[in-house]
Chain A
Amino acid sequence: MSDWSKAVSAGFKADGTGPTGSRGLQMEEALSFEQDAPGRTGVDLPEPPTVKDRLGGLARKGAIGLPGLSEPQVVRHFTRLSQKNYAIDAGLYPLGSCTMKHNPRLNEKMARLAGFGDLHPLAPESAVQGALELLDQLAHWLKTLTNMPAVALSPAAGAHGELCGMLCIKAALEAKGENRHRVLVPESAHGTNPATAAAIGFTVEAVPAQANGKVDVAAFKAKLGPDVAAIMITNPNTCGIFETEISALADAVHAIGGYLYCDGANFNAIVGRVRPGDLGVDAMHINLHKTFSTPHGGGGPGSGPVVLSAALAPYAPLPLTVHGKDGFRVIETPQASGEGSKALGRLKVFHGQMGMFVRALAYMMSHGADGLAQVAEDAVLNANYVLARCKDVMTPAFPGYCMHEALFDDRFLKDTGVTTLDFAKALIDAGYHPMTVYFPLIVHGAMLVEPTETESKDALDAFIATLRALAEKAKTDAQHFADAPRLTPRRRLDETGAARKPVLRWRPETVQKQAAE
């Protein structure tokens, strides 16, 4: 009898829940480890050929501890787990700064073409010409959309792209024999910005924003000096506002010999309409999983190519795809001279997130230059529509129009006893994934709503009606919010307890008991 069978109780619970704990379509599901039958497997593999092993006397002794399940059990297990997740496919997912847009299925199909999905990264150049062409095409689209001369494709995610961009800056400074150690970052920046700069030895200084949510150019200028390596700016910024004076900031930092890093997390708001290269940017990462719709997958894989100005381009990390006499070539090891000879090194094995490149290029080709400009416009229109229709019952953090995301603070909840977190949890019971909460840090009880361009007006109207109803309800029924969510597979979880005594893996019952004693 498996652990799970033993755990099933005898009868119905007081609330009508059946013996398994399942309720209608809400299925309780045990851990795979609790469904083990020793020797059972979900694959049929032939008996291995008999050979004398050459494992150097290190053949594994004893059990690993993995459970045995058949294929039908595995399919049911993961299907049931999937049903405990909210997803864009199921509903509006207005998670600000995350750009949860529709993930086209054509892109999935393209990434699975054998010529891409089953292609080995170290196959000879003659066997990968189509893959190198795809890298070249993707680079062309990214460079054209940003008006930047170069792009490093290999970073595996946005933060990895930031690291790449900041390393290019460090390499360029070193090449000039300069040892600048300060990096200026607005207080509203995403946490990865200061973490990235600090990880490679820069001293990070936070610069407060103005009352209108924009960077304070005067405050930045006051801090500039010969020891400043770079300014890191997000544009549009994390408050959902375009930094009008970014070009002035670029000029100022260039004048003292520093560089402008732009966090491109919010590129979706301006793609096809504004080219960051026209703003004086030296390096900017692009989250392909945001603007270019590669699926978020429950937390990755991401992909974070970095576009680079002419000043930084020579320092781009390996590998590089180049046009050779007989087709494309890849430069993947340090060069004594010519292209790649100033490369800062390497950040990732092989060539980057190829599967994501295929999806992103399919997305770009599907939209075209015309469709991408429409993406930016519709994303901004949708966010402003939510802002306009909710601003009388909720409290916008800043006056005026927003870009692709509408930022509210918690003033409208003042004296109700309802917190931003409660409000978010009540939204879950109403059938929505909450917006981003408590970010950016500079806004009290922040709620950052990013509907994206792939929501219809009907979907927005329903969402707006829900927000308005909740804002109204908050005035009279704080308990509704404090108790939320009630209708989910799990109610609020004890995060403090989880961190105090971390249980990070399953262990057999006997081991658990021994540990308790």
Chain B
Amino acid sequence: MRYLPLTPDDRREMLAAIGAASVRDLFKDVPAKVWQSKPVDLPMHLGEIEVDRALSAMAARNIPSGQVPSFLGAGAYKHHVPSAVDHLIQRGEFLTAYTPYQPEIAQGTLQMLFEFQTQVALITGMDVANASMYDGSTATAEAVMMAGRVTRRNRAVLSGGLHPQYRAIVETHGKYGGFKVESLAPDPDGKEDAAARLGDDVSCVVVQYPSFFGHVRDLKPLAEACHAKGALLVVVTTEIVSLGALESPGAMGADIVAAEGQSIGNGLNYGGPYVGLFATREKFVRQMPGRLSGQTVDADGRRGWVLTLSTREQHIRREKATSNICTNAGLCALAFCIHMTLLGEAGLKRLAAINHAKAVQLADKLAGVPGLSVVNKSFFNEFTVRLPKPAAGIVERLAAKRILAGVPVSRLLPGDAALANLLLVAATETNTDRDMDALVAALREDLR
């Protein structure tokens, strides 16, 4: 077995040094009736060639976004990741290191996380950010729970423009974690008035920016309304590239930003692993969940970094911790950090501009398809279209022609006739004019 270095001679010598007659003796605490003396009922070991062949065959039964015209979004976006990113994250010193608990020999990870925290704070327009969370959806749930701790209030209001699966996660935490969740009706037109739901018991209002349906709304009035009532404004962003073109949530008064960072540096990966971004105001930092890298000095007075404010965390506080979270998304945060460093100020802004321009072009092309209408007046790189028949069927038929047309709203919000004909369509820098024309032609044909 290629991963196991011990030889039979090694094992004999080692048992002799231990003074045990057999390896089974070492397991003497394991009762005989539960010991599996024979291999369990699974295949025997395989070489690289055989494993590669089996898994490649499975992979070949999928349609990757890069091989066909693809307009899928709804929380996961196909972007180009520069070649240097994947090369660098595969350096063993990053890939095969653990959490930086011994800072003297983990300065690489710690400095990177400090840079990552700075990048996230700058992009979101917030004071501080943590070293990442599992993904945008779990970061959103953590943001709601943090708002409860900060305000000591018990009801969260979720916008109808929040990603339905994010909403479901917050609801699950509310149901079992003892706080109330008021989810507003789906808001495909981007016109809801979440401020009307504020009350003295509301810890936070959670809005998505741009919304699940793609709308871009000024959040300042909502932030002011929240603050007037003593509630926090939690802003969720599932397409972080948008903040290269849009006013930051922080500038509009957000108290917590929970975002999905997949778009920068990370592949689609069928939904994970991704990287959760979490940022807040300085005054709330001690209520923030997750790891933090902080600057300090070493015994010789040289600048260095350590994990800090760990008295918030479970390994110190146990049942009194701010969160049960024990890890971050280190390698995905690294990929984000490298890609963002490559982009820089100029690159991020241009990437965002290209994404928006492509989406505007696509919206204009689609608006010419008979029977189809674009719902959005405002959007970044994703918008909602209304079709004359159910979107789900169209998407399946176009997939058979190897075109991934978008995400039917009904897939995430089933059973609502008013939403059945809505389709979310996203465009990024990876979409060519030819891709767009293929989609338009296929839709024309399907709707004929």
Contacts and interface: CB of A to CB of B under 8 A. Distances in A.
Contact of A274 (B35, B136, B217, B395): B35
A364 B377 CA distance: 50
B412 A333 contact: yes
Given A55-B378, A296-B96, A333-B412, A42 B43 contact: no
A74 interface: yes
A325 interface: no
B329 interface: yes
Interface string A80-99: 01111111111001010010
Nearest to A146: B40
A434 B98 CA distance: 12
Interface string B139-182: 00000000000000000000000010110110110011110000
Nearest to A126: B399
B97 A129 contact: no
B373 interface: no
B230 interface: no
B285 interface: yes
A4 interface: no
A69 B342 contact: yes
A102 to B, nearest CB: 6
B357 A51 contact: yes
A506 to B, nearest CB: 5
B327 A457 contact: no
Which residue of B41, B44, B58, B106 has the most chain A CB atoms within 10 A of its CB atom?
B58
Interface stretch (B70-78, B194-202, B438-446): B70-78
A157 B62 contact: no
A162 interface: yes
Nearest to A373: B39
B294 A503 contact: yes
Interface string A147-170: 000000000111110110001001
B349 A64 contact: yes
Interface in A133-156: 133-134, 137, 141, 144-145, 156
B4 A454 contact: yes
Contacts of A387: 18
Nearest to A108: B90
B165 A504 contact: no
B192 interface: no
Contact of A270 (B30, B74, B102, B103): B30
B20 A384 contact: yes
A103 B331 CA distance: 14
Interface in A484-515: 485, 488-495, 497-499, 502-506
B356 A53 contact: yes
A31 B246 contact: no
Nearest to B68: A127
A492 B1 contact: no
A414 interface: no
Contact of B129 (A40, A50, A380, A505): A505
Interface stretch (A218-226, A253-261, A300-308, A465-473): A300-308
Contacts of B76: 120-122, 350
B92 A87 contact: yes
A134 B58 contact: yes
Interface residues of B, number: 212
Given A115-B61, A388-B19, A93 B98 contact: yes
Given A78-B88, A126-B396, A369-B41, A45 B347 contact: yes
A19 interface: no
B357 to A, nearest CB: 4
A46 B354 contact: yes
B302 A116 contact: no
B94 A505 contact: no
A480 B198 CA distance: 62
Given A43-B347, A53-B356, A493-B298, A499 B331 contact: no
A91 B51 CA distance: 27
B295 to A, nearest CB: 4
Nearest to A50: B357
Contacts of A412: none
Interface in A101-135: 102-104, 106, 108-124, 126-131, 133-134
B176 A167 contact: yes
A121 B346 CA distance: 30
A258 B123 CA distance: 48
A381 B112 contact: no
Contacts of A489: 104-105, 107
A441 to B, nearest CB: 9
B221 interface: no
Nearest to B334: A298
A122 B62 CA distance: 12
Contact of A85 (B107, B292, B363): B107
Given A242-B27, A297-B94, A41 B343 contact: yes
A143 to B, nearest CB: 10
B320 A373 contact: no
A75 B90 CA distance: 12
A280 B330 CA distance: 35
B115 to A, nearest CB: 5
A301 B404 contact: no
A167 B169 CA distance: 13
Contacts of A272: 36, 39-40
A322 interface: no
A87 B93 contact: yes
Which residue of B10, B23, B268 has the most chain A CB atoms within 10 A of its CB atom?
B268
B321 interface: yes
A273 B246 contact: no
Given A131-B270, A504-B128, A488 B108 contact: no
A115 B247 contact: no
B111 A103 contact: no
Contacts of A195: 314, 317-319, 321, 323-324
Given A158-B326, A299-B131, A103 B95 contact: yes
A300 B5 contact: no
Contacts of B39: 272, 368-370, 372-373
Which residue of B84, B108, B248, B267 has the most chain A CB atoms within 10 A of its CB atom?
B108
B95 A297 contact: yes
Interface in B249-266: none
Q: Which 7 A-B pairs give the minimum distances between C-beta atoms?
A: A350-B271, A115-B59, A297-B331, A89-B92, A345-B172, A130-B61, A56-B378
20 contacts: A31-B114, A43-B351, A49-B354, A78-B94, A85-B106, A95-B101, A108-B90, A110-B56, A110-B59, A112-B267, A123-B65, A127-B63, A131-B270, A156-B272, A247-B34, A274-B30, A298-B99, A299-B327, A350-B272, A456-B6
Given A110-B51, A300-B331, A369-B39, 11 more contacts: A55-B216, A78-B88, A86-B102, A144-B41, A195-B321, A349-B166, A368-B45, A372-B39, A490-B304, A493-B299, A505-B121
